[in-house]
Amino acid sequence: MSLDLVELTRALVAIPSYEGEAAVQQFLAEQLRQLGLTVQLEEVIPGRANLHAWRGEGGPLLCSHADTFPPYDHPEPWTLRQEGDQLIGRGVNDTKGQIAALLVALERSQGPCEVAITVDEERQGRGSLALHPRASAAVVLEPTDLAICPVEAGFLECEARFSGRAAHGTAPSYGVNAILTAVACYQAVTQLPPFQVEYPLLGRPWTTLGTIAGGYEVGVVPPWCTIRFDLGIWPDVDLAAARAAVQAEVERWGGRLQVLDESPGFALAPTEPVLQRLQAALAATGQPARLGGMPSWTDAQNLVARGIPTVVFGAGELGTAHSDREWVRRRDLEVVAQTLQLLIDHWVDRPLHP
């Protein structure tokens, strides 16, 4: 058996997994069994099971996720296209290309390790929440453009509702435009202190106004508006304090806030063995062992919350994921495969320094 990185990626992309992961998990389970790993499918949600596998005793946990975002306007979501060194398709960097690189690394390596391919990462993270890993440290595979990320952002996902006053559209001074109020409130929220801080490896927090709905038609001043927005929470920001600041600002504009989801960020110490070992493995491939920050939530958060030191690493640029031109370089996936192979075979389950 000799796995081809591109053909594996092609096979994974061809299996839609945005409404359920069963087909891709069955495919991966068979691949891992052929590679000699012990494999279990562990149901998390009815019809949706994590894939949990291991080889030998000890070694790192290598984790990624099987689900993807919906295709939306992607012209050919389930067909892997190649343009030069670029591989293009839904989930190709988030994270089916990463999983293909992991399988290649497992075939090339001999050391012990643990593998988890989770479900529901793109929505509520229930897959990694249900995991019970054996390993003492983990690498989560996500698009980081080959940067090693010991820092991950948290987030605050909110919905805010505003009421205005209807009036004839040609006499707007008689009404109160709820859409304009909502947009002004969102802009004020983004200027609050928790979202102005700089953090090493992350820079300034991102803010995204994701959806807006309001009004009836252009002839009526809109008397209602609902917006949903997402705010980056850096590791040194108190999540409860940030939430309270947003709540107060929305209320100041006459709105009602509902927090839909939230998570704190995390930062590993630079002396964590998993970080140092991954740096050494990446450097051994001839690549610079750059550090970076992961601005998005990943399964790493749930692993860190369990007390498992975790770094995030992978090929591809995060900004292209979820888009109609999601892509990754084939050569970068090969770097991931080489790095993971070295990490597995050179891993020692004891501290680096006595």
Give me the tens of pLDDT residue by residue for the chain, a chain 354 residues long.
Answer: 699 999 999 999 999 999 999 999 999 999 999 999 999 999 999 999 999 999 999 999 999 999 999 998 888 899 999 999 999 999 999 999 999 999 999 999 999 999 999 999 999 999 999 999 999 999 999 999 999 999 999 999 999 999 999 999 999 999 999 999 999 999 999 999 999 989 999 999 999 999 999 999 999 999 999 999 999 999 999 999 999 999 999 999 999 999 999 999 999 999 999 999 999 999 999 999 999 999 999 999 999 999 999 999 999 999 999 999 999 999 999 999 999 999 999 998 755 443
**Given 263, 287, 315, which residue is the final one in a domain?**
263
Let me know if residue 85 belongs to a domain. yes
Q: Are residues 12 and 123 in the same domain?
A: yes
Residue 198's CB is within 10 A of a number of other CB atoms, namely 9
- Maximum CA pair distance of the chain? 77
Let me know if residue 127 belongs to a domain. yes
Let me know if residue 353 belongs to a domain. no
Q: Are residues 140 and 250 in the same domain?
A: no
* Residue 179: domain span: 154-263
**Given 227, 242, 263, which residue is the final one in a domain?**
263
d(CA 66, CA 354): 38
**Which of 172, 150, 149 has the alpha carbon at shortest distance from 218?**
172
Q: Are residues 159 and 240 in the same domain?
A: yes
Q: Which residues neighbour 182 within 8 Å (Cβ) at sequence distance 6 or greater?
A: 160, 162, 212, 214, 225, 226, 227, 253, 255
The model's pTM is 0.92
Give the model's pLDDT for residue 354. 36
Q: Peptide bond preceding 95: is omega within 30 degrees of 0, i.e. cis?
A: yes
Q: Are residues 48 and 111 in the same domain?
A: yes
Let me know if residue 129 belongs to a domain. yes
Q: Are residues 130 and 13 in the same domain?
A: yes
d(CA 39, CA 31): 10
d(CA 140, CA 297): 11
**Given 263, 279, 310, which residue is the final one in a domain?**
263
**Which of 110, 121, 20 has the alpha carbon at shortest distance from 64?**
121
Let me know if residue 354 belongs to a domain. no
